[in-house]
Amino acid sequence: MKVSVAMCTYNGEKYIEEQLNSILNQTKKIDEIIICDDGSKDNTLKICDKILKNSNVTYSIKINKKNLGFARNFYQAIRLCSGDIIFFCDQDDIWKENKVNLTCQVFDDNPNALLVFSNAHITNENLEITGNLFSSLNYRDNYLNNQYDAFYYILNDNFVTGATTAIKKGILDYIGDSDNGWIHDYWFGVIAALHGGLKSIDEPLIYYRQHESNTIGIGKKYGFDKIKKLFSKNKENNRENQYAELRLPQLNYLKDFIKDQNLDSNYYRILEKKLNFWKKREHFGQQGVITNLIIVIKGMVKKEQINNRNVDKAILKDFIKAIALANRDK
């Protein structure tokens, strides 16, 4: 199998040399690195070219004429890769030397696998380990017991982290329109689940570095800062001040997608349950706190929060959203 790496860069000079060296020092060698740069103003591209031209790996660096944004840039990099297996790669992490070998072995052992993701060590900017990725996402092995469980749990909350992910190139035949409101790693995970091809590796295979310049990263704990943002009336660029607004468009798109692709009706029934949960919360911002709390309490009795979210303290978070968002849009 030919192995490619899809890397997106943007002002990554501080960490990118470490990342590239960890890729080049794999026990199973890669064949190709595709870098798509989104308009770096620092020395990112000089560092990449210096390191890669002295390696035995085929590489290409594409400089975007305009900033595409994180997700679109990744789709571009993925489509430019020629490998049978394509690894997603951030610019600031470090791969363990057995990452490629272990991941490719999972593909070899599971012919139907379309996407393989792994655990990771969460670290600070100095690579001091601060946590475990699967634990932070509340990911459990039983989520992938079968294709229906995989679809059920990934719709609750995403547990496929792009920096740990590799795909079989054939999955590109199934993804449809990439400009669909889903983050790229989440959408690839959903598609793999729909086709019974989602696999995981419990062993941490990267050091997943978290720092102030992260474009995206693992969410911080639901602490005071998040709650403060949530109660803010300033909705602009504030994800904490949104709830169903983020999920319903994604799920409605997926509903149409499943219909158009004529996929297993069991997936449709699972999706309908998720849609019903979020539709009840669609008007939290237009309703009073009592109305919102009644919805949450009824949901708690029916175990809706537990059945529709993987996150820790799902019931408590639902209560907080119900109170904070009440009358927000009036």
Answer whether residue 227 shows pLDDT above 60: no
Give the three-class secondary structure for 276. Answer: helix
Judged against a pLDDT cut of 60, whether residue 239 lies above it is answered with: no
pLDDT at 23 over 70: yes
28-71 residue pLDDT tens: 999 999 999 999 999 999 999 999 999 999 999 999 988 888 88
Residues in CB range of 107: below 8 A, 6 or more apart: 1, 85, 113, 116, 166, 168
For residue 104, what pLDDT is reported?
A: 98
CATH topology classification for 3-209: Spore Coat Polysaccharide Biosynthesis Protein SpsA; Chain A (3.90.550)
Q: What SS3 state is found at 157? A: coil
State yes or no: pLDDT of 215 exceeds 80: no
Residue 71: what pLDDT?
87
CA pair distance 315, 313, nearest whole angstrom: 6
Global pTM?
0.91
**pLDDT for 96:** 98
Asked if pLDDT for residue 132 goes beyond 50, the answer is: yes
Report the run of H or E that residue 295 belongs to, with start and end: helix 289-301
- The pLDDT value recorded for residue 158 is 95
Residue 84 has pLDDT above 50, yes or no: yes
**Mean of pLDDT values over 207-214:** 81
Residue 131 confidence class, pLDDT cut points 50, 70, 90: very high
Query: How far is 8 from 22, CA to CA, in rounded Å?
Result: 16
Query: What pLDDT score was predicted for residue 299?
Result: 97
- Average pLDDT rounded to a whole number, residues 146-169: 96
Average pLDDT taken over every residue of the chain: 91
Domain ranges of the chain: 3-209, 224-324
Per-residue pLDDT reduced to its tens digit, 90-101: 999 999 999 999
- Residue 18 in this model has a pLDDT that exceeds 70: yes
Task: Tell me the C-alpha distance between 260 and 262, whole Å.
Answer: 5
- The two tokens of residue 17 are 């040399």
Mean pLDDT, rounded, for 102-117: 98
> What's the pLDDT at 237?
45
Burial per residue of 99-126, b for 16 or more beta-carbon CB atoms within 10 angstroms, e otherwise: bbebbbebbeeeeebbbbbbbbbbbeee
Residue 82: pLDDT band (50, 70, 90) is very high
Share of residues in the chain with pLDDT > 70 (%): 91
Q: Show Cβ contacts of residue 260 under 8 Å, excluding neighbours closer than 6 positions.
A: 176
What's residue 222's pLDDT? 44
In this prediction, residue 204 carries a pLDDT of 98
The DSSP bridge partners found for residue 206 are 95
Identify the residue whose tokens are 């960490």: 15
Beta-carbon count within 10 A of 172 CB: 17
Q: Which of 252, 142, 243 is nearest to 200 (CA)?
A: 142
Q: How confident is the model at residue 233 (pLDDT cuts 50, 70, 90)?
A: low
- Mention every residue, 6+ apart, whose C-beta is less than 8 A from residue 62: 34, 35, 36, 37, 76, 77, 80
